[in-house]
Amino acid sequence: MTEQRKLRIVLVIVGLAAAATVTQVACEGAPINFQLFAQGGQPAKPDYPIKPVAFTAVHLNDEFWAPRIEINRTASIPSAFEQCELTGRVNLFERAAAVLRGEKNVDTRPPGYPFDETDLYKVIEGASYSLSVTPDPKLDAYVDGLIAKIAAAQEPDGYIYTTRTINPQAPHRWAGPDRWVFERDDSHELYDLGHLFEAAVAHHLATGKRTLLNVAIKAADLLVKTFGPGKRTIWPGHQITEMALVKLYRVTGKEEYLTLAKFLLDERGPGPYPEGERANPRGLTYNQAQLKVIEQSEPVGHAVRAVYMYSGMADVAAVTGDQAMRAAGKRIWDYLVTSKLYLTGGIGASGSGEAFGQPFELPNMTAYNETCASVGMDFWNHRLFLLEGDAKYIDVMERTLFNGLVSGVSLDGKTFFYPNPLESNGQHARQEWFGVACCPGNITRFMPSVPGYLYATKGDSVYVNLFAKGTANIDLPGGAITIDQDTRYPWDGAIKMTVKPKQARRFAINVRIPGWARMEPVPSALYRFIDNAGAGPTIKVNGDLVPSPTLSPAASGLARGYFTIDRTWSPGDIIQLDLPMPVRRIVANDKVIADSNRVALQRGPIVYAAEWPDNPNGKVRNIVLPDSNTLTAEFRKDLLNGVEVIKGRAVGLAFDAKGAITRTEQPFMAIPYATWANRGRGQMAVWLARVDAAAKPTPFPTVVTTAEITASPLPNGRGKNPRNIIDGEEPANSSDSTAYFDWWPVQGSKMEWVELKFAKPSMVSTSEIYWFDDTGRGGVRVPASWRLLYKSGNQWLPVETTSTFGTARNAWNALTFKPVTTPALRIELSMQQSFSAGLQEWKVK
Ligand SMILES: [Zn+2]
Per residue, the 3-state secondary structure of 460-512, as one string, reads CEEEECCCCCEEEEECCCCCCEEEEEEECCCCCCEEEEEEEECCCEEEEEEEE
Strands 494-501 and 562-569: unpaired
Residue 199 to residue 191: CA distance in whole angstroms: 13
Report CA(418)–ligand 1 centroid distance (Å). 6
Report CA(440)–ligand 1 centroid distance (Å). 7
Contact 823, 755 (CB under 8 A): no
Residue 618 pLDDT more than 60? yes
Average pLDDT for 258-279:
93
What is the CA angle 229-233-239, rounded to 5? 110
Query: 354, 611, 729, 841: which is the annotated catalytic residue?
Result: 354
Beta strands in 31-120 (DSSP E): 51-52, 58-60
pLDDT of residue 721: 72
Report CA(220)–ligand 1 centroid distance (Å). 25
Percent above pLDDT 70 for the chain: 93
Greatest distance between any 2 Cα atoms in the chain: 92
Contact 456, 53 (CB under 8 A): yes
Contact 118, 195 (CB under 8 A): yes
Q: How confident is the model at residue 724 (pLDDT cuts 50, 70, 90)?
A: confident
In sequence order, what are the residues at sequence separation of 6 or more whose Cβ sits closer than 8 angstroms to the Cβ of residue 779? 352, 744, 745, 747, 834, 835, 836
pLDDT of residue 722: 85
Instruction: Provide the 8-state DSSP code for 594.
Output: G
pLDDT of residue 744: 85
Known catalytic membership, residue 189: no
Q: How confident is the model at residue 716 (pLDDT cuts 50, 70, 90)?
A: low
pLDDT of residue 420: 97
Average pLDDT for 96-104:
97
Report CA(827)–ligand 1 centroid distance (Å). 32
Tens digit of each residue's pLDDT (9 = 90 or more) over 470-516: 999 999 999 999 999 999 999 999 999 999 999 999 999 999 999 99
Contact 508, 564 (CB under 8 A): yes
Strands 58-60 and 470-474: antiparallel
Residue 777 pLDDT more than 80? no
Residue 194 pLDDT more than 90? yes
Average pLDDT for 726-735:
85
Tens digit of each residue's pLDDT (9 = 90 or more) over 306-315: 999 999 999 9
pLDDT of residue 699: 78
Highest mean pLDDT among 150-154, 545-549, 697-701, 773-777: 150-154
Report CA(379)–ligand 1 centroid distance (Å). 14
Residue 124 pLDDT more than 80? yes
pLDDT of residue 396: 98
pLDDT of residue 44: 65
Give the containing element (helix H, strand E) for 704. none
Report CA(432)–ligand 1 centroid distance (Å). 13
Beta strands in 502-555 (DSSP E): 505-512, 527-529, 538-541, 544-545
Average pLDDT for 408-425:
95
Query: 423, 438, 611, 755: which is the annotated catalytic residue?
Result: 438
Average pLDDT for 230-255:
96
Neighbours of ion ligand 1 (CB under 5 A): 370, 372, 438-439
Report CA(194)–ligand 1 centroid distance (Å). 15
- Closest alpha carbon to 642 in 616, 675, 613, 673: 675
Q: Look up the pTM and report it.
A: 0.85
Contact 337, 321 (CB under 8 A): no
DSSP assignment of 412-424: TSS-B-SS--SEE
- Closest alpha carbon to 629 in 690, 698, 681: 690
Q: What burial letters (b/e) apply to 561-585, b meaning 16+ CB within 10 Å?
A: bbbbbbbebeeebebbbbbebbbbb
Higher pLDDT, 279 or 323: 323
Beta strands in 54-161 (DSSP E): 58-60
Residue 189 to residue 701: CA distance in whole angstroms: 52
Residue 15 pLDDT more than 50? no
Residue 286 to residue 707: CA distance in whole angstroms: 39
Instruction: Give the mean pLDDT of the chain.
Output: 91
Q: Identify residue 460 by its one-letter amino acid code.
A: D
Report CA(387)–ligand 1 centroid distance (Å). 26
Tens digit of each residue's pLDDT (9 = 90 or more) over 448-467: 999 999 999 999 999 999 99
Contact 749, 834 (CB under 8 A): no
DSSP assignment of 568-587: EE-TTEEEEEE-----EEEE
Average pLDDT for 252-260:
96
Beta strands in 641-681 (DSSP E): 643-655, 661-672
Known catalytic membership, residue 242: no
Q: What are phi and psi of 94, to 5 degrees?
A: -65, -40
Residue 40 pLDDT more than 50? no
**CB count in 10 Å sphere of residue 779:** 17
Report CA(372)–ligand 1 centroid distance (Å). 4
Residue 509 to residue 464: CA distance in whole angstroms: 7
Report CA(441)–ligand 1 centroid distance (Å). 8
